Copies of this chain bind each other. A is one copy, B any other.
Amino acid sequence: MPSITVENYLKRIFLEQQESGGEIVSMGRVAQAMGVVPGTATTMVKSIAESGWAHYEARKGVRLTEKGNRMALAILRRHRVIEVFLVKILGFDWTEIHEDAERLEHAVSDRVLKRIDDLCDNPNVDPHGDPIPSATGEFRSRPQMTLFECPIDQPIRIARVLKQEPDFLQYAEEKGLVPGAWIRVIERNPIADAVTLHLQNRGQITLGGKVAADITVE
C-alpha cells in the first residue's frame, strides 16, 4: 500500500526514533536522514500522518502510530532477511549488500520473503548483527554494551556493527572485526578517547571513541 518512498520514510523514522530512545523525531532529522530538504520532509511527514502511519505535531516532530510501527517493522524485516539471503545464499560479502537490500526490500512480497526466510533458516540477526523483527512484529533489541562500556581483558564477542559506511565495514572486515568474532579489550583511555583491542591472531588496533561506541559486544 505505501509507495516505495513512503516505505523508506517509515523505516527511517522508526530507526531514528529507536536511536533517540523513543523520542519524537524532528523534521530536520528526518530531512537529514532521508537526504532531502527540510521542506520536503515536512510535506511528506504530513501526508504520512494523513494516512495514519504517524502523528505529526508542527514544530515538534513526528512519531509513528501503532500501525506505522508495524509497517516499519515489516520493512525492516524484509531488509534484514534479504541481507542474510544475499550473504548466506548468494555468497556476497557483508560489507557490500546494503544497497541491494535497500532496493529489494520494496519488491519482495510476503510469500517470497517467507521462502527466503526459510531458505536462510529463519535467522534472527542480519549480517551486521542487527536484530530481525519476527514475522509477527516482535522486536526486542536487547541492550548490549559497546566497546566503551564492556569489561576489560576478558574474551568477548562482537555482536553488532552499527556503523554502515562501506569504507568502515571494509576496514572492519579486514581486521576481523566482524559480528561473532572474539576479541579482548586491552586498554581504554577516556581522556585520549581511545580503545585498544586485541584481535584474534591479527595483532591489536586502537579505535577512536566514535567508532568504538558503534560496535556492541556480548
Contact = CB atoms under 8 A, between A and B. Distances in A.
A119 B86 contact: no
A112 B86 contact: yes
A116 B104 contact: no
A158 to B, nearest CB: 26
B91 A112 contact: no
Nearest to A96: B111
Interface size class of A (residues with CB under 8 A): 10 to 19
Interface of A is mostly: helix
Interface in A81-105: 86, 89-92, 99-100, 103-104
A33 interface: no
Contacts of A104: 104, 107-108, 112
Nearest to A104: B107
Contacts of A91: 115
A116 to B, nearest CB: 7
A198 interface: no
A192 B103 CA distance: 51
Contacts of A92: 111, 115
A107 B100 CA distance: 8
Contacts of A108: 104
B112 A100 contact: yes
Given A99-B109, A103-B107, 12 more contacts: A86-B112, A89-B89, A89-B119, A90-B112, A90-B115, A90-B116, A91-B115, A92-B111, A103-B109, A104-B107, A104-B112, A107-B107
Interface of A: 86, 89-92, 99-100, 103-104, 106-109, 111-112, 115-116, 119
